[in-house]
Amino acid sequence: MADVTLIVGGHSYTVSCRDGEEERLKSLARMVDEKVSNARQSVGGKLGEARDLLFAALLLADEVDEMRENAGTDGLAERAETLAERAETLAARLAR
């Protein structure tokens, strides 16, 4: 297991992941950080750590939901489900 330090919304989090997954986890954290920034812009400022992450999660969930709705028979629904499961796993790790 490897430890990775992620910066999301100006907060630092150390998260464990399987060896070799460090860069992917950092990339995902950058996505979440971008959503935190979007959420802050939408409401006009910082809401606090938990609410920032909540709004980021809701924005990401909205994207996944739209992907599911627009998915045809090309496997996007399955990919969206996999992404949702990964997001839930990441959220659980961050909650530790």
For the purposes of burial, counting CB atoms within 10 Å of the CB of 3, is it exposed (0-12), middle (13-18) or buried (19 or more)?
Answer: exposed
Task: Quote the pLDDT of residue 95.
Answer: 62
Q: How far apart are CA 47 and CA 69, in angstroms?
A: 30
Task: Quote the pLDDT of residue 96.
Answer: 62
Task: Quote the pLDDT of residue 29.
Answer: 93
**Beta-carbon count within 10 A of 48 CB:** 9
Task: Quote the pLDDT of residue 84.
Answer: 80
The helix (run of H) or strand (run of E) holding residue 92 is: helix 76-95
3-class SS letters over 60-82: HHHHHHHHHHHCCCCCHHHHHHH
Mean pLDDT by 10 residues, the chain (96 residues): 93 93 94 90 82 87 84 66 78 68
Asked whether 59 and 65 are in contact (CB, 8 A), the reply is no
Strands 11-17 and 2-8, bridge-based pairing: antiparallel
pTM for the whole structure: 0.68
Domain ranges of the chain: 2-95
